[in-house]
Amino acid sequence: QSALTQPPSVSGSPGQSVTISCTGSSSDVGSYNRVSWYQQPPGTAPKLMIYEVNNRPSGVPDRFSGSKSGNTASLTISGLQAEDEADYYCSSYTSSSTWVFGGGTKLTVL
Amino acid sequence: EVQLVQSGAEVKKPGESLKISCKGSGYSFTNYWIGWVRQMPGKGLEWMGIIYPGDSDTRYSPSFQGQVTISADKSISTAYLQWSSLKASDTAMYYCVRHSCGSTGCYVAYWGQGTLVIVSS
């Protein structure tokens, strides 16, 4: 199975919004509402930010939101803050009963 | 509070065997999928496989099938990742992960602190 496709990098200024895309196929993103997103600041373990496309775990700010259309899922971060600077990864369940991650996107807050 | 505590860093030589561990606490160990994610230096996350400790049902990513073995000892709430013959390309950070299940299915919800494995002659 191939990794999901994410842009290598995105950037935005404090207060702005950014959107990170995650493109898969009909064997994963397109067939299941089991897309999740993770934040990984440098040197730390990843943290769950969004699950089941658009649900936030408790403690995750509502500035983070998720959506999906067809084979592409998206993570939107509004009201960017310096602390949001990190790598972001999407993940999806697959038709092989396994999971797959995206290649990761580095978010830079200008 | 769910906690996944992994074993410490390892430095091994090519061809050696290795088994790293992950102890789960704060939840019913037998009722949740637990598995492993690889992150090679400077690279992204790769889902390796998972095990359901309740019945030992195990699933592997095609990329890792036959390359590693995932197991669990439910008597001590511990999952393992094992290699029989390490290669330099196995050098990476390995994260233990626990899945949670919602209305539409399961997802990686919790992460251990990571175990760094260095394979070098």
Residues paired with B35 in a beta bridge: B50, B97
B38 neighbors B92 (Cβ within 8 angstroms): yes
Q: What is the pLDDT of residues B14-31, one digit of tens each?
A: 999 999 999 999 999 999
Task: Pick B45's closest partner by Cβ from A48, A89, A98.
Answer: A89
CA distance linking residue A64 with residue A48, whole number of Å? 11
Rg for chain A (alpha carbons), in Å?
Answer: 13
Q: Which residues of B touch A46 (CB under 8 A)?
A: 45, 95, 111
Kindly state whether B113 is in contact with chain A, defined as any CB-CB distance less than 8 angstroms: yes
**Phi, psi (degrees; rounded to nearest 5) at A99:** -125, 155
Q: What is the mean pLDDT of residues B60-75?
A: 96
Residues paired with A50 in a beta bridge: A37
Q: Which residues of B touch A55 (CB under 8 A)?
A: 102
Q: What is the mean pLDDT of residues A40-47?
A: 95
For residue B65, what are its two tokens?
Answer: 């099938």
Report the pLDDT value the prediction gives residue B101, as an integer from 0 to 100.
86
DSSP state, A51? B
Kindly state whether A7 is in contact with chain B, defined as any CB-CB distance less than 8 angstroms: no
CA distance linking residue A22 with residue B22, whole number of Å? 30
Kindly state whether B116 is in contact with chain A, defined as any CB-CB distance less than 8 angstroms: no
Interface mutation target, options A99, A101, A105, A106, chain B, most CBs of B under 10 Å? A99
Q: What is the pLDDT of residues A73-84, one digit of tens each?
A: 999 999 999 999
Of the candidates B34, B12, B16, B105, the residue with the CA atom closest to the CA atom of residue A31:
B105
For chain A, the straight-line distance linking the first and the last C-alpha, in angstroms and rounded, comes to: 35
Of the candidates B38, B120, B19, B118, the residue with the CA atom closest to the CA atom of residue B78:
B19
Those of residues 48-107 in A touching chain B at CB distance below 8 A are 48, 51-52, 55, 57, 87, 89, 91, 93, 96-104
CA distance linking residue B33 with residue B26, whole number of Å? 14
